[in-house]
Copies of this chain bind each other. A is one copy, B any other.
Amino acid sequence: MNKHIAAYGEIMMRLEVPDNLLLRQAENLKYSFTGTGVNVTGLLSQFGYDTSLISAVPENSIGTAAIGAIRRLGIHSDFIIKNNDNLGMYFLEQGFGNRPSNVTYTNRQQSSFNTTDISEYDIVQSMKGVDVLHICGISLAMNNLTQNNILTIVKVAKEQGIKIVFDCNFRPSLWGDNGNQRAKPYYETILREADIVIMSEKDAINTLNLTTTKESKEEQLEELLLVVAEKFNIDIIAGTIRTIQGSNQNNIKGYLLKNGTMYYSESFEVNILDRIGTGDAYTCGVIHGELSNMDPQEMVTFSTAACVLAHTISGDTPLFDTDDIIKIVNEEKNDIER
Contact = CB atoms under 8 A, between A and B. Distances in A.
A20 B331 CA distance: 21
What band does the interface of chain A fall in when counting residues whose beta carbon is under 8 Å from B? 35 or more
Contact of A101 (B28, B65, B320, B337): B337
Nearest to A89: B106
B86 A23 contact: no
Interface stretch (A139-147, A197-205, A240-248): A240-248
Contacts of A192: none
Contacts of A21: 314
A129 to B, nearest CB: 16
Contacts of A69: 72
B171 A338 contact: yes
B337 A100 contact: yes
A97 B244 contact: no
A265 B16 CA distance: 35
Given A244-B333, A333-B245, A314 B25 contact: yes
Given A72-B72, A87-B106, A98 B312 contact: yes
B20 A273 contact: yes
A68 B74 contact: yes
Interface in A91-109: 91, 93, 95-107, 109
